[in-house]
Amino acid sequence: MPVEHVETLIIGAGQAGVAMSEHLGRQGQPHLVLERARIAERWRSERWDSLVANGPAWHDRFPNMVFPDVDPDAFPSKDQVAAYFEAYARKIGAPIRTGVAVKRLSRKADSSGFIAETSEGVIEARNVVSATGSFQKPLIPATVPEGGGIMQLHSSQYRNPGQLPEGAVLVVGAGSSGAQIAEELNRAGRRVYLSVGPHHRPPRAYRGRDYCWWLGVLGEWDKEAREPGLEHVTIAVSGARGGATVDFRRFAEEGITLLGRVQSFAEGKLQIADDLAHNIAGGDANYLSVLDRADAYASREGLALPEEPEARIIRPDPECVTHPIRSLDLAALGITTILWATGFGFDYSWMDIDVFDAQGRPRHHKGVSDVAGLYFIGLPWLSSRGSSFIWGCWRDAAALAQHIAARTPVPAPTETI
Ligand SMILES: Cc1cc2nc3c(=O)[nH]c(=O)nc-3n(C[C@H](O)[C@H](O)[C@H](O)COP(=O)(O)OP(=O)(O)OC[C@H]3O[C@@H](n4cnc5c(N)ncnc54)[C@H](O)[C@@H]3O)c2cc1C
**For 173-232, what is each residue's pLDDT tens digit?**
999 999 999 999 999 999 999 999 999 999 999 999 999 999 999 999 999 988 887 777
Torsion of CA 111, 113, 115, 118, to 10 degrees: 160
Q: Residue 393: CB within 6 Å of ligand 1?
A: yes
Q: Residue 215: CB within 6 Å of ligand 1?
A: no
C-alpha distances in Å from residue 360, one per residue of 232, 234, 353: 17, 21, 12
| CA distance linking residue 190 with residue 182, whole number of Å | 9
Q: Residue 378: CB within 6 Å of ligand 1?
A: yes
- Ligand 1 atom closest to the Cα of residue 118 is 42
Strands 364-365 and 344-345: unpaired
CA dihedral sign of residues 102, 404, 111, 370? negative
H or E stretch covering 294: helix 276-300
| CA distance linking residue 401 with residue 405, whole number of Å | 6
Q: 390 alpha carbon to ligand 1 midpoint, in Å?
A: 9
Exposed e or buried b per residue across 40-74, where buried means at least 16 C-beta atoms within 10 angstroms of its C-beta: bbbbbebbbeebbbbbbbbbbbbeeeebeebeeeb
Q: Residue 35: CB within 6 Å of ligand 1?
A: yes
- Ligand 1 atom closest to the Cα of residue 54 is 8
Q: 13 alpha carbon to ligand 1 midpoint, in Å?
A: 9
On average, the pLDDT of the chain sits at 96
- Ligand 1 atom closest to the Cα of residue 15 is 25
Strands 335-340 and 168-172: parallel
DSSP state of 52: B
Torsion of CA 34, 38, 40, 42, to 10 degrees: -110
* Cβ within 8 Å of residue 388, ≥6 positions away: 134, 378, 379, 380, 381, 382
With cut-offs at 50, 70 and 90, classify the pLDDT of residue 400: very high
| CA distance linking residue 383 with residue 400, whole number of Å | 11
Q: Residue 86: CB within 6 Å of ligand 1?
A: no
Q: Residue 41: CB within 6 Å of ligand 1?
A: yes
Please, are residues 57 and 73 in contact by the beta-carbon 8 Å criterion?
Answer: yes
* Cβ within 8 Å of residue 335, ≥6 positions away: 150, 167, 168, 169, 170, 193, 328
Question: Which runs of E-coded beta strand occur in 215-350?
Answer: 234-235, 257-259, 262-266, 269-272, 327-329, 335-340, 344-345
Strands 114-118 and 102-107: antiparallel
Q: Residue 317: CB within 6 Å of ligand 1?
A: no
Q: Residue 53: CB within 6 Å of ligand 1?
A: yes
Q: 103 alpha carbon to ligand 1 midpoint, in Å?
A: 18
With cut-offs at 50, 70 and 90, classify the pLDDT of residue 415: low
Question: Per residue in 231-289, pLDDT tens?
Answer: 778 999 999 999 999 999 999 999 999 999 999 999 999 999 999 999 999 999 999 99
Pocket test for ligand 1, best of 390, 395, 396, 400 (most atoms within 8 A of CB): 390
Q: Residue 177: CB within 6 Å of ligand 1?
A: yes
Q: 270 alpha carbon to ligand 1 midpoint, in Å?
A: 32
The per-residue pLDDT for 226 is 87
With cut-offs at 50, 70 and 90, classify the pLDDT of residue 309: very high
Q: 285 alpha carbon to ligand 1 midpoint, in Å?
A: 30
Q: Give the mean model confidence (pLDDT) for residues 376-386.
A: 96
H or E stretch covering 125: strand 121-130
The per-residue pLDDT for 230 is 77
Read out DSSP for 66-78?
PPTTS-TTS--BH
Please, are residues 283 and 201 in contact by the beta-carbon 8 Å criterion?
Answer: yes
CA dihedral sign of residues 98, 100, 103, 109? negative
Closest residue by Cα to atom 33, ligand 1, is 12
Q: Residue 52: CB within 6 Å of ligand 1?
A: no
Query: How far from chain centre, in Å, is Cα 219?
Result: 19
- Ligand 1 atom closest to the Cα of residue 34 is 43
| CA distance linking residue 239 with residue 53, whole number of Å | 6
Question: Per residue in 99-143, pLDDT tens?
Answer: 999 999 999 999 999 999 999 999 999 999 999 998 999 999 999
